[in-house]
Structure 1
Amino acid sequence: MKLTVVGGGSTYTPELVDGFARLRDTLPVQELVLVDPAADRLELVGGLARRIFAKQGHTGRVVTTSDLDAAVDGADAVLLQLRVGGQAARERDETWPLECGCVGQETTGAGGLAKALRTVPVVLDIAERVRRANPGAWIIDFTNPVGIVTRALLGAGHRAVGLCNVAIGLQRKFAALLGVAPADVHLDHVGLNHLTWETGVRLGGPEGEDVLPRLLAEHGEAVAADLRLPRPLLDRLGVVPSYYLRYYYAHDEVVDELRTKPSRAAEVAAMERQLLDMYGDPALDEKPGLLAGRGGAYYSEAAVDLAAALLGGEGSPYQVVNTYNRGTLPFLPDDAVIEVPAAVGAKGATSLPVAAVDPLYAGLMASVTAYEDLALDAALRGGRERVFRALLAHPLVGQYAYAEQLTDRLIAHNREHLAWA
């Protein structure tokens, strides 16, 4: 089995490699190819990857290259974890929206749109090259904004599934609070990527007992603190929103916070410099503890599980993924990409049935889906007016004066990545 990681020079990659090494019985990788244009980073990460495999007794071969076509040739699955423009672009995405009084964040709002505009054309080019090399290969997208990128891939006819670590992170946290094994926790997880709610927490499987009321009653303070939302709000909602909902439920509070502290991009950039120094140490043969602060917790386990199921291995039959709606949520178009539990196998992902969704959540999902329609149109066809329309439609923007200012700033800060600008 050959797996290729596009963006293999990312500081995330040792997390992924650690999962491949530990879970080799689930996903027997014989050749792992890390591809990245940044040769200096790639060699540091690749060296550590080889040492991790060696320490854990994995017999697979780790290959590093900057040649994308060679990297994807013969690959059974290709994982995408790239960042077009690097941390410098992320820093800008988190900064200029604040100048207009809007949330500055890399996956949602105006910053998320900028990332989508930079990313979608690049990902589609990569996917076409994967298809030419091996039409049967699966593409697993971990590149944000996952919902929009996955929709672009599926719309172009690629064999693709989107992956996010929010659900597996909550599963692990809930399991710890409840004192059960993570595999015993099944989430009624519903929404769009980075716009999800846990409407049930079931023990033993999709039809198991719903212990969400007990979880909130006994551990509501801990859950609320983790989400940085008031406990009374969770009690009123009766569900657990993802932490990204704080951008919507406490928008102005978040904007005030973001204006008074260093950007997350600056924190991550500093952490990446430390991590790369560590990766260069020939004595290091495991992922360092500092990597946990980088983000992407449990990404490796989710990725291994998904790849194994898609490739006919021992992956879990039910996983939370990003895939076409196809009637699962009747208030959204069939070609919307939703994030829900699905049955995953060699033919792809099929969403499990979802109970009726409260209008409180359904309305916001529908609004953000409309924005994603417009965002994808802007990413595929370009043009200032399409950017403006997407921003005007986004619930975190919504006012024409803001949309005008944000449009100008987005184009100015991303001109080098926009072929039409």
Structure 2
Amino acid sequence: MFSTFLRNTRVPFVFYFITIAAMIIYCFYISHQSSQGLSTFNSRFNEPLEAPIIDEKMLEKVKFQEIEKEESLIRLNDMDTIRKANADPLPVISDFGTDWKQPNWTENICSGEDEIKCGAKLKSLETRLRASPKYKTVACIIQKNMSTILQAIMCYLFDEASFVKAGRIISRECHNNRFCVKKNEFNAVYAATRVLNVTRTEMADWKYVAIVRDPIDRFLSGFVDKCIRKPNDLEYYCNNCGSNMTCFILTEYERIMRSSNGNVLSRTFEDRHFFPQNWRCNFRTELKHYQLIEYSSHPEHTNKFLNDLLEAFKQQHVPDESQKFIKDQLTGGRTVHTTVASDARIFLEKRLLSSPFLMEYIIRMFYWDFRLLGFKLPTFKPIE
């Protein structure tokens, strides 16, 4: 059809030659670009972020996530209901006999004889490892510490080409639709050695990474996400406290203390998301081997977190184009789980931070997260 058009069009012969030559060059260019695969995808990644979705299941999940996001926004901004659920007067006397009038009172709890009133350190709750043999890297997943995103990143680093070819998007991965399910996922190092065909001695030289989070930020993120945005059980969710933060803090403290003093640890949905971080990743014996990367939900900390994470991957010789892919995907938007800018988060954060009563419970629950993972204990002005 194109040759007929040229024959029926009165143009100089040189135009034929130029046109055909241009088409040959263009076809060669397209062929070359297609062979580049990953780099081609990266160069056009931000045009726009959602364009590459080609997996049917992924597309359905994205549609579902958008519906979930709209429903979440309604719940997160229903401030009449949230205020009503948290209208209980907060006590002005410590349940533990702590004198809030003393300066630096937060520094004096959980020490000496008072230690038994605080969550234990380095219990063994669970370990969730995600491996990238190509880059000799293992990441330990801790709920509410950007776990879904880190899991997706490690899946990408397990097989970049397949991840991209399938049209997957890091910020759109979710637990129920994981691209790498059972491919690079392990609950212990010895299990990984068998599947990956490496020795424990070899794996000892790999980089071990864990994302950690300020305990207060993590608690607030978890409470707003699991007790307001999307409750797991609409009848008995959040320790049967609903969205009452005071009730939940007191009941979760009791659950942490029972697990601290027992041999069998509780593993309810809420416990998995709120129990101390230092109970994960087999930190009891492996903490010294991990590079801890601090994450905060506040946007002003995003650059430092990204730089630290990418530097860890760079040290393992992850290519520049793969690092760029990760950075582009993480800066392209937050997941459906994000709650940091919501009215609910702002209200509850203010309520928590202004109450010595609630904050003492938080410190006692997560005291060893503060001490072992490098976070400063909060300070309060002495109560007048």
Bin the TM-score by the shorter chain: under 0.3
Using the size of structure 2 for normalisation, the TM-score is 0.26
Using the size of structure 1 for normalisation, the TM-score is 0.24
- Higher RCO (Cα < 8 Å, 6 or more apart): 2
More helix per residue: 2
More strand per residue: 1
- Look at both structures and tell me which one has the larger radius of gyration over its CA atoms: 2
